Amino acid sequence: CMTNDIISQYNQLLENLSRELDISPSKYQKAIQRYIAVKTWLRDGEYEKCDGEPDIYLQGSFRLGTVVRPIKEGKESDYDIDLVCQLQIAKSSTSPDKIKSMVGDRLKENDNYRRMLDEEGRRCWTVNYAEEDGIGFHLDVLPSTPEEAEFISALIGAGVSTEVACQAIAITHKNQSDDYSWSPSNPNGYADWFDEVKKPIFEKIESKERQLLLEKNRDLFTKIDDVPDPLVKTPLQRAIQILKRHRDMRFVGHELEGDKPISMIVTTLSARLYQNEEDVYSTLKNIVEKLDAHAGLLRPGYSLNEGLVSLHLIERKPDGTWYIPNPVNPAENFADRWHENNHKKARAFFQWVSWVRSDLLDVLNQADIRRIGKSLEEHFGEKIISKAASGLYLSAAPAVLARSRDEVPHVEIRNPSKPWSIYG
């Protein structure tokens, strides 16, 4: 039977797991230093027709506090830091290729950045940093301009708040034949929306979490106010980190690997389902059960129950296409390709949800924290789980320590080149 005791132990295990998955405070500080250096360099540049200095800010998982180290080809790879370089130039008086090359040219004026720069990407310029302690970083710089008034009015008309809509930007997109076009985006608006969702719980746990971070990182912080906001994690952010790593690991070598759910969908649906739960397990349980209840949509003509329909999380249109709206731009559909190849991306998504359900929720039926830990090793790797479980297995410690060195746990990673959790 499932006791409160086992649930609280499991919760602790999940929380520890997300701390292990997270970027360490010292690496976070390092990443921010690099971001500030690039920001300063870009800000001080000269850009034709630019009205004032560019607006440069973080976006993506660094901004949202949902960073996990990506898994590529079964191995942990470089952290991605995403930043937006918004040139204050009217969109109508410039072109996407001009905006892209102005930002690229400015980066190339710096000898260091020129050496570290990748070839031009579809949407951004990438600066690659050398590895330290086996951990690499790359910084993606996204050139953009503010969106036009007409577009912003349309967003407001579609129900987006004025405050969020006014932060919309136009980013550049280079296609295979080297033609450039504009795409709408709103990373600042999205981050504000996400912050609003987690705010009640953030405010509740903030001082306790800061105190904890201060005590564990005396070498970095001298007082509680030195601890940066993004290091304080709500159960929503922890759940997203666990879900993202579970996804990366579960699809390694799988036929659906190329169609695994994108982080934007995982983050958006999790945030939309969050109901201010105060622990990681309840957060995951609520998210996964509600998502799993949508799996019937894979069958044509299936009707969701009223309660789920009213959430407008995942919709299947009469023509068979799928719709997951961007909360800060309802015209942008995160699931616009889900119907392709016989709904391959939709199938991958619901396959993953059912894996999460069995790997992270049903695992509790084992009712023994050691057995639960053993199950998690299969999907997260032995090293990271033994770190996350340290202290939870007190009675089992000798057995764990004495485990045969030759025993090779089944971990779905091929040839890991470095140990799992090497940041402390």
Q: Assess whether pLDDT exceeds 80 at residue 62.
A: yes
* Per-residue pLDDT reduced to its tens digit, 290-319: 999 999 999 988 999 999 999 999 999 999
Predicted local confidence at residue 131, as pLDDT: 82
Q: Are 120 and 51 in contact (CB under 8 A)?
A: no
Collapsed DSSP state (helix, strand, coil) of residue 180: strand
Give residue limits of the domains in the chain. Answer: 4-17+233-401, 23-189
Q: Assess whether pLDDT exceeds 90 at residue 76.
A: no
Domain 23-189 CATH assignment equals 3.30.460.10: yes
Residue corresponding to tokens 């990681």: 280
Select from 4, 14, 9 the least CA-distant residue to 283. 14
Residue corresponding to tokens 């764990």: 400
What mean pLDDT is reported for the chain? 91
Q: Find the helix or strand (DSSP H, E) in which 169 lies.
A: strand 169-174
Q: Are 71 and 254 in contact (CB under 8 A)?
A: no
What are the angstrom distances between the C-alpha of 272 and each of 37, 135, 268, 313, 328? 34, 32, 6, 8, 12
* Per-residue pLDDT reduced to its tens digit, 209-254: 999 999 999 999 999 999 999 999 999 999 999 999 999 999 999 9
Strands 169-174 and 135-146: antiparallel
Percent of the chain beyond pLDDT 70? 92
Q: Assess whether pLDDT exceeds 60 at residue 422.
A: no
Q: Assess whether pLDDT exceeds 90 at residue 89.
A: yes
Is the whole model's pTM more than 0.75, yes or no?
A: yes
Measured between alpha carbons, how far is 247 from 250 in angstroms, rounded to an integer?
A: 5
Q: Assess whether pLDDT exceeds 90 at residue 173.
A: yes
* Per-residue pLDDT reduced to its tens digit, 319-335: 999 999 999 999 899 99
Query: What are the residues facing 162 on neighbouring strands?
Result: none
Q: Assess whether pLDDT exceeds 90 at residue 73.
A: no
Select from 190, 232, 202, 249 the least CA-distant residue to 69. 249
Contacts of 149 (CB under 8 A, 6+ apart): none
Residue 69 identity: R
Backbone angles phi, psi at 166, to 5 degrees: -70, -10
Select from 247, 217, 238 the least CA-distant residue to 350. 247
